[in-house]
Chain A
Amino acid sequence: MNAGILPYVLILPVTLFLCVFFLYPFVLVAQQAFSDGSNFTLENFREITSHWKFPISLKNTLLLAAAVVPVQLALALLMATMVTRMQKGRDIVLYIWTIPLGISDLAAGIIWLAIFDQSGFLNSMMSGMGLIDKPLNLLSYQNPGIVFLAIALAEIWRATAIMLVILVAGIGLIPKEYYEAAEVFGASPWKRFLRITLPLLRPSLQTALVLRVILAFEIFAVVAALGGTLFPVLMGETYSYQFDLLNNRAAAAMALIILAISIGFTLIILRVLRVPKGASI
């Protein structure tokens, strides 16, 4: 067979698969979002954005992402640097740190619910230490700060490892000689991290951040388990339009708004962390 055509023939099955199961449903969703049944309309978007819960859920989603992702980034960088410096047992530590990745987000939410619940570990511990007389209802509407904190903690616990794995692989690609050169020319360990590791890690940072930020805008199960209706987020609202209110056009419009936000942030991340031509390793 003609060698020029062969690659395209080989990717044809997966292209077809993607078209049938991803592109086509996506077009259908977009169609639903922009129609009232027969005509083109922006009415669905007007409906959802004018609802009183929309600004709150948008704010909550963005706030959560803004609180969680930087902490995860810092933690993942710290953990990745530690792991790469280890001589022995590096793989075991990496496996243990990535265990939360194997747990579904709903299960992760339930684990943290077991900690913060009225009859949970935290209450038992505090009462055991004599700090409180009776169990507190921490995850109630009276404590929005604690609800937020619990959700953020659960997310950090659950999803930092995905960034860690990407960053460990990225750090492994940086030749040792750059660090030696930086050391000889007077860079302290902190300066080497700032001036060598971080800039050379930009491609991995891009991947890790894009992935993490998109997942942060899609947060749903952890919030459902810990906050219920106390802490509305965009994905939760999409779910309730679709299944509680049975308004699939509004749900489709919500989905597109989340997609637009994700694309927007992805473009920003790619732009900010771009590597100039000729400047890659």
Chain B
Amino acid sequence: MAEIQIKNVAKSFGAYQALHDINLTIADQEFMVLLGASGCGKSTLLRIIAGLETATAGEVWIGGRRIDHLSPKDRGIAMVFQNYAVFPHLTVFENIGFGLRMQKLPNDEVTRRVERVATLMHIEQLLKRYSGELSGGQRQRVAVARALAMEPDVILMDEPLSNLDALLRMEMRAELKGVLAESKTTAIYVTHDQVEAMSMADRISVMHQGRIVQAASPIEVYRNPSAEFVASFIGNPPMNFLKATPAGDGKWSVAGQVMDGPRADRPHLQFAIRPEDIQPAEQGLTATAKVVEPLGAHLLVTCEVDGSLFRAVLDSDMVVRPGETLTLAPQADRVRWFDPETTKAVA
């Protein structure tokens, strides 16, 4: 059992507060992704769990044991680094076996484990090579194999795929997910790539300015963002926002259209809808098409509604010309509302 509990963790670098009061519980064998833009604190949090950084306050527990005062090697973790950190002076075999040698395991045990994970990562034919003779993708595999060979309770990954080209990244994404699920370890995976996060995670923690804004399943984060930041960060293109004014009795006026909304006593709300949850209709928001991008699978139309930018993903068979006026209807059950003051979702 390797449940991870992060309790009230804070970190400051001098006057700069990198993490504010982080609380997070990651279940045993869960694949947790820390997602956020660069500088949001996601890597700092990972490094605190790894023991490469010391938290200014708070506690970290793994498997019911407090570990934040222990050195990295005593935490039951292994890590995959962004630049792989495959030691250039050691062969692939010795790289994968590095941690096992440090534990002074007998030779035959080291060989057995290295060969097992090398086969798992499809690099068994590279064991005698040095990292200078490997491609980026192969180095990545060595780095993952080195972590798996430790048979750790927790694997920490810091943007492990960000240095690979797009095609390889997609391939490794699926493979990594499979391998980690099989190894039954708890995984924390840091990335700024939302596609990676959505496709791999059991749960995503969206981070912003040193705080966890939302921690939920990928579909929950996508469908029911808890704050405006999540709504605008997740999804490509991101959610559309329009200003809504109260029209009495739970109704709100959005760009001249009156819609059902929450019964909230606020001077304004933000109306939000995903671009793919919009259809052309008889009745709806009046939009002027500005840019039309045929993307093959669908048509991305950037329009102007009520003076704001508004994107719609439409059927690729539709013919839309720039300057044309469209009537677009948001799918009612997919509409979300945010309080502009707190930026939080309003039900």
| A binding-site residues for B, Cβ under 8 Å | 175, 177-178, 180-187, 191, 195-196, 199-200, 202, 275-281
Contacts and interface: CB of A to CB of B under 8 A. Distances in A.
Contact of A183 (B73, B129, B150): B73
Contacts of A276: 130
A98 to B, nearest CB: 29
Contacts of B150: 185
- Report, nearest first, the 7 A-B pairs whose CB atoms are least far apart: A278-B132, A185-B99, A186-B102, A186-B73, A181-B85, A278-B130, A278-B133
A255 B77 CA distance: 60
Contact of B131 (A182, A185, A195, A278): A278
A180 B85 contact: yes
Interface in B100-146: 102-103, 129-133, 146
A279 B52 contact: no
Contacts of B81: 177, 180-181
A187 B102 contact: yes
B52 A180 contact: yes
B78 interface: yes
Nearest to A201: B89
A88 B85 CA distance: 27
Contacts of A275: 89
A277 B73 contact: no
A279 B130 contact: yes
B63 interface: no
B130 A184 contact: no
A179 B88 CA distance: 12
Contact of B73 (A175, A180, A184, A280): A184
Given A181-B87, A183-B71, A186-B102, 6 more contacts: A177-B83, A178-B85, A183-B51, A184-B73, A279-B130, A280-B132
B72 interface: yes
Given A185-B73, A278-B130, A177 B103 contact: no
Contacts of A196: 87
Contact of A185 (B83, B98, B130): B98
B50 to A, nearest CB: 6
A187 B146 CA distance: 14
B162 to A, nearest CB: 14
B52 A277 contact: no
Interface string B49-66: 011100000000000000
Contacts of B85: 175, 177-178, 180-181
Contacts of B83: 175, 177
Contact of B79 (A181, A191, A199): A181
B331 to A, nearest CB: 47
Contact of B129 (A178, A185, A200, A278): A278
B78 A281 contact: no
A178 B132 contact: no
24 contacts: A175-B85, A177-B81, A180-B52, A181-B85, A183-B71, A183-B72, A184-B52, A184-B79, A185-B78, A185-B98, A185-B102, A186-B72, A186-B73, A186-B99, A199-B89, A199-B90, A275-B89, A276-B130, A277-B132, A278-B129, A278-B131, A278-B133, A279-B132, A281-B88
Contacts of B72: 183-184, 186
A38 B85 CA distance: 64
Contacts of A278: 129-133
B52 A183 contact: yes
Contacts of B129: 278
A210 B188 CA distance: 47
Contacts of B131: 278-279
A133 to B, nearest CB: 57
A136 B99 CA distance: 58
Given A196-B87, A200-B89, A281-B88, A182 B130 contact: no
Given A184-B52, A184-B77, A277 B130 contact: yes
B87 A178 contact: yes
Nearest to B47: A180
A281 B131 CA distance: 9
B275 to A, nearest CB: 39
Given A277-B130, A278-B129, A278-B133, A184 B102 contact: no
B141 to A, nearest CB: 15
A177, A183, A185, A199: residue with the most chain B Cβ atoms closer than 10 Å: A185
A139 B150 CA distance: 60
Interface string B88-100: 1110000000110
A176 to B, nearest CB: 9
A170 to B, nearest CB: 13
A160 B87 CA distance: 29
B88 A182 contact: no
A280 B89 CA distance: 6
Given A183-B72, A184-B50, A184-B79, A280 B88 contact: yes
Residue with the highest number of chain A CB atoms closer than 10 Å, among B51, B89, B129, B130: B89
Nearest to B133: A278
A279 B50 contact: no
Nearest to A174: B88
Give the most central of A183, A276, A279: most B CB within 10 Å.
Answer: A279
A278 B130 CA distance: 6
A185 to B, nearest CB: 4
B98 A182 contact: yes
